[in-house]
Structure 1
Amino acid sequence: MLSLAMLAQSPNALAEDYSHAAVGARIMLTGHVHQAIPDVAQRGYAEHWDCLNKYGEERGDQVFERAWRVREGFAGRIDSAADSIALAASVHELFVRFLSVLPWSRRPRIITVASEHPSLLRQLSCLAEAGIEVIAVPGEPAVDIVERISVLIDDNTAAVCLGSVNRQTGLLVPGLDALLPVCQKWGAELFVDAYQSVNVLPFSLRGDNLEQAFVAGGGAKYCQMGNGNCFMHVPPGRDFRPLVSGWFGSFDAVRDDSAARPLAYGEGAKRFDGSTYDALPHFRAGHVFDYFERRGLTPAFLHDINRHQLALLAKTFHACDFNRTVIQLTADVEYMGAFLALSSPVAAELCARLRDIGVHTDYCGQWLRLGPAPYLSDEQLTDAMIALQEVVEDCGAR
C-alpha cells in the first residue's frame, strides 16, 4: 500500500506508472490544467480499435458498458449515483444542455462570477449579447462570494452559475452549502463547476448540500484520463426537458419516434445525454479508474498528497525570501484549492522563463499558477521553487 512518504521520496513511487509522460524527468506543475495519464490507459486505445473494427455496427453494447463504468467512477468521487450522471466531451457541452432547461421568458437573469472559466463565462457573455441579463460579481474577495450572490437572487433569476474554486487565484469558494437553499427559495437553479475540486479536494454532494444542484467536472485534470471525459450530476427526482437534446436522450434511442409529441425523454440524467460520439476517452477512463482503485488512490488520499505538496511549495517560497515587487504569495494553504497562485506583474514572463529551463507552470492574468500532482517528489517541488527564485531575481535585477 502506498504511503505519503513513498510519494515524497525521490524517485516518487508512482513515477514509474507514468513512464510515457516522463514525469520523473520533467517538473510538471500544470496539474490544475492537465495531469499526466498513467501508462495503463494506453490499453484503451487497442480495445477501442478492436471495438470499432471487429464489432462494427454491434459495438453499441461495449460502448455503453464503458460509458456506464465512467458514470460509476465519477459518481463515486462526488457522492452521487451513476444514473444521475450525464456524460459529454466537455463541460461547455453539458452547460449548454443545462441552459436549455431554463425558463428564459419568465426568468431572464443569470448570476455568475466574473472570474469563471470560459466554458461558462463565454457562453454567458453570448447570452448577454442576446439580451439575457447576466450579473457577474467580482471573484474577490473569495470569502464572501456566496453572501454577495445570495442577496442578488430574486424571482427573475433563472440560475446561479459558479465554480467551487476561483480559477485565477486558486482560492476555495466557501459556503456553497448555503447557496442552494437560497436558490430553491426563489425557484432558481444552481450550476456548480467542480472541475477544480473532483478527486483532489473534499467534495460530496450530500455533505455539501448540493444533491439538487447541477454539478459538472471532468477528467483532464485531477482524474488523469485526458480530454473528452466530462460529466454533470443531474438533480434526481425531477422531470427536466432540455431543449438541446441528442437522440441518446430518449427512452430507447433506436425504437423511439423522435417526431412523436409530446417528445419522450429518458429517465434521470439520461435525458441530458448527447448523440453519437467518439468513445475512445471512455475506454481510457475505465482503465484509469481501475488504476486508482488498484493503487489505493482514493479522493481522501489524493487530498492528503495535495495538501502536503502545497504546504511544501508555500514553505519553500517563504524560505526563498522573494522580491515582493516581483512576486507574492497572498494566501495561506488552508484557503487554497488544489494549486498555488502567485501574484506577479510579470507572470507571463516568469512562466515562459521557467518553461525554458524545464519547469512547466501556467499563468492567468497576474497569477502564476503552480499545480502539483501525486507523481511528483518533494525534491522536484523544491527544485521548482529554486528555479523560480533564479528567474525572479533575474527579472528583479532589470
Structure 2
Amino acid sequence: MSYKQYYQGFFQRHPDSLHCAPHSHHYWPDVTRAAQLQYWDDTAQGVDHKWNQIFGERVPAVQTLLAELLQHPHPEQFVFASNTHELLYRVMSCFDLSQPVSILTTDSEFHSFSRQLRRLQERSNLTVTVVATEPFASFPQRWLEAVSADAYTLIFTSQVFYNSGVVGPDLNDWVPQADPESTIVVDGYHGCGAIPTNLSTVADRIFYLAGAYKYLQAGEGCCFMAVPKGCQLRPEYTGWFADFANLAKPQQGEVQYADDGLRFAGSTMDFSALYRLESVLQWWQQEQLSVDHMHGYVQQLQQGFLAVLDEVGHPLVNRQRLLVNSLAQHGHFFTFRLDNPDQVQQLAEKLAKAGIETDYRGNRLRFGFALYHDVADYQRLKKALSSH
C-alpha cells in the first residue's frame, strides 16, 4: 500500500524530490493543515479564554494519545514545551549545582545536550563519565557496567542515537540496575513514533523526552516529556504553567508546583503544534497505523533500498559502509561512514542535483525512510550513483 496520498500538500511543492531526510525534517501529512487553521479559529473565538480550552481539552486529549502510543500508564504525567532542551534543562535545574554533580552519558548525544554539558563542565564540581557507543556490539554491556558502577546525579542517553540510527539498549535491561537516587532522562526523539515503545515498566522511573518534529510528523514547536509518577523535584527553571490550576490564588510563600507532569511546565508557547500533533495521532488511529505497522513498512523500504544499492555497487554507499548491518538494530535511518567529510559533502551535493535529498554529519551520510516512500522510489539511486 502507498501512503503518498496523505502528503499531497508537500508533494505538490516538491514534485521532483525524493526526500530521504525525514529523520531530520519530516513531511507533514495533510491533516495538519486543517489543525493549524483550527488553532487560529479557536484563538479568535476564545481570545484570553483559549487557555481554558487548551488546558481543559486539547492538552488532556494529546496526553491520552501519547500515553496510548507509548504504553505509558499515566497520561497526566506528560508535559509540553517548544523544544526538548527547555524540558531537559528544567530537570537539570532541580539539582543543587553548588554541590558535587555527577553525570553519566554517551559520546553520541544530540548537540543541544552535548553543548549544554560542555558548558556545565566549566563548573569545578561537575564530573562527567562518557561511554563510547562504538563498538556497537559491546555497547550494551559497557553501558550496563557504567550504570551499575556509581550513584550518578543524572543518567542521560538516547533510545536511538541521532548520529548513527542505531537503537540503544533495551530500557528494561539497564534502568533497574541504576541507583534509586539517580535521575534518568532518555532522549526518545528518534524512537518515538518510529520504534515500537513500551514504557509501562519504566514509566515511574525515567523522564522520557521526545517531540513532533520528526517521526510524529507534526513539525516543530511541540515537544514533550513524560515525568515519573509522584516526582517531587522542584525545578528552579519554572514558569506560570507549572501551577496553572492555582493561578488565581495569592502567589506568596514557597513556590508551589502541580502534582503531575505540569510541575515541569514553563510559560506561554504557541500551541498550534499541539493541534497538529493531535491531528496526526488521531489520523494514525483512524487508519490503524500503529507504530508496529509503520516500523514494519519502513523495514521493507530499508530492505528494498539495500537491494538497489547491491545492484549499483557504489564504492562508498554500500552495505559494508553501514555503521551496523542488522535492520533490527536500526531506527528509521541508515548511516554510512565514508572516508572524510569532504567526500560526504560532495556525494550529498551530487545526490541533491539528482533530486535526492539526504543529510550528513562529518564523515557520515544519512538516508531516512518514511511512509511517503515506496520501494520503487529508490530506483532513482541507480542513475544518481551510476557514475562513480
* Secondary structure of 1:33 counterpart: coil
Q: Does the 8 Å contact 2:344/2:362 carry over to 1?
A: yes
The amino acid across from 2:273 in the alignment is: P
SS at match of 2:153: strand
How far has the Cα of 1:193 moved from its partner?
0.4
TM-score, normalising length from structure 1?
0.88
Q: What residue in structure 1 maps to residue 279 of structure 2?
A: 287
Matched with 2:186 is 192
Separation in 2, partners of 1:387, 1:66: 47
* TM-aligned CA deviation for residue 252 of structure 1: 2.1
Q: Which residue of 1 aligns with 2:382?
A: 386
Matched residue, 1:353? 350
Q: What is the DSSP-based 3-state SS (H/G/I as helix, E as strand, rest coil) of the residue aligned with 2:289?
A: coil
- Say which of 21, 31, 34 aligns to 1:43: 34
CA contact (8 A) 2:196 2:295 kept: yes
The Cα of 1:114 is off from its aligned counterpart by: 1.2
Contact 2:332 2:370 (8 Å CA) reproduced:
no
Deviation at 1:230, TM superposition (A): 0.8
Report the Cα distance in structure 1 between the residues aligned to 2:229 and 2:15, rounded to whole angstroms.
43
Deviation of residue 160 (structure 1)?
1.0
CA 1:321–1:155 in structure 2 vs 1: closer, same or farther (change >3 Å)?
A: closer
Query: What letter corresponds to residue 386 of structure 1 in structure 2?
Result: K
Question: 5+ residue gaps in structure 2?
Answer: none
Rounded to whole Å, the distance in 2 between the matches of 1:253 and 1:367 is: 50
Are 1:15 and 2:4 counterparts?
A: yes
Counterpart residue identity of residue 222, structure 2: N
CA distance in 2 between partners of 1:45 and 1:203 (Å): 28
Structure 1: distance between partners of 2:89 and 2:192: 21
Question: What is the identity, as a one-letter code, of the residue corresponding to 2:304?
Answer: L
Cα deviation digits, residues 109-165 of structure 1 (max 9, x gap): 111111211121111111112332222222212233343234345555201101111
Give me the whole-angstrom Cα distance separating, in 2, the residues matched to 1:348 and 1:55.
49
In structure 2, what is the equivalent of residue 373 of structure 1? 370
* C-alpha separation in 1, matches of 2:375 and 2:209: 32
Deviation readout 1:155-214 (Å, 9 max, x if unpaired): 5520110111122221111243222122235x211111011111111211126x454111
In structure 2, what is the Cα distance between the partners aligned to 1:361 and 1:35?
Answer: 12
Structure 2 matches for 1:282-361, cutoff 5 A? 282-324=274-316, 328-330=321-323, 331-345=325-339, 346-361=343-358
- 1:94 aligns with 87
Cα deviation per residue 1:82-106 (whole Å; 9 max; x = unaligned)? 1011111111111111112234445
Q: How many residues align?
A: 377
- Distance, in Å, in 1 between the alignment partners of 2:250 and 2:134 is 50
Whole-Å separation in 2 of the counterparts to 1:163 and 1:156:
19
- Asked whether the equivalents of residues 177 and 210 of structure 1 are also in contact (C-alpha less than 8 Å), the reply is no
Counterpart residue number, 1:11: none
2:359 matched residue in structure 1: 362
Deviation at 1:24, TM superposition (A): 6.0
The 3-state SS of whatever aligns with 2:173 is: helix
Q: Report the RMSD for the aligned CA atoms in angstroms.
A: 2.1
Q: Which moved more, 1:166-175 or 1:23-32?
A: 23-32
Partner amino acid, structure 2, of 1:243: E
Superposition map of 1:244-259 within 5 A: 244-250=237-243, 252-259=245-252
Corresponding residue of 1:68 = 60
List per-residue Cα deviations over 1:48-79 (Å, max 9, x = no partner): 22222332111112222222222222222211
| Cα distance in 2, alignment partners of residues 106 and 317 from structure 1 | 54
Q: 2: CA distance between counterparts of 1:387 and 1:363?
A: 21
Match of 2:101 among 108, 133, 143: 108
- Tell me the residue number matched to 2:158: 163
Structure 1 residues 99-178: aligned runs within 5 Å: 99-131=92-124, 132-153=126-147, 155=150, 157-178=152-173
Residue 19 of structure 2 is aligned with which of 23, 28, 31?
28
Q: Distance between the aligned counterparts of 1:50 and 1:204, measured in 2?
A: 36
> Between the two proteins, what is the percent identity of the paired residues?
25
**1:304 Cα shift?**
0.9
The verdict on how the C-alpha distance between 1:144 and 1:101 changes in structure 2, with shifts beyond 3 A counting, is farther
CA gap of 1:135–1:143, structure 2 versus 1, over 3 A, is same
Unaligned regions of 5+ residues in structure 1, if any? 1-5, 8-13
Which residue pairs with 2:177 in the alignment?
182
Q: Which of residues 198, 201, 215 is equivalent to 1:204?
A: 198
**Matches of 1:193 and 1:295, distance apart in 2:** 28
Do the aligned residues in 2 keep the contact of 1:143 with 1:173 (CA within 8 Å)?
A: no
Which is further off, 366-375 or 44-53? 44-53
Partners of 1:266 and 1:240 in 2: how far apart? 11
Counterpart amino acid of residue 216 in structure 1: L
Post-superposition Cα deviations, 1:284-329, rounded to whole Å, max 9, x if no partner, equal 2221222111222111111111111111112222232221599823
- Tell me, yes or no, if the aligned pair for 2:161 and 2:168 is still in contact at 8 Å: yes
SS at match of 1:215: strand
Distance 1:354 1:51, change over 3 A: same
SS at match of 2:160: coil
- 1:229 aligned residue (222, 227, 242): 222
| Structure-1 residue corresponding to 2:49 | 58
Normalising by the residue count of structure 2, what TM-score does the alignment of the two structures yield?
0.90
